[in-house]
Amino acid sequence: MSKNTEAQENLYDRTIDITSETCPMTFVRTRLALDRMAPGEILLVVMRGEEPRANIPRTASEQGHTVLSQEDQPDGTTRLRLRKAPG
């Protein structure tokens, strides 16, 4: 990974940790965080498990948000970056 890409991966306006949550609370917490943000801001979601890993990016995209990156971490978590949809 280039330094520029690494720097971009660390850019976000807000972060939430939903590693201890289960469905459907994983997306409820993600949606509440997005609702509190301005259009274009970036949310970093730290999550654990296959269900949120598959469902949160899909549902966020269906609601018009942009998935910027999704990376599995060595500790078993996944870091998902979402850009809030415009207006």
Task: Tell me the catalytic residues.
Answer: 23
Cα angle 47, 39, 54 (rounded to 5 degrees) comes to 25
- The runs of H, that is alpha helices, within the chain are 3-9, 25-35, 50-62
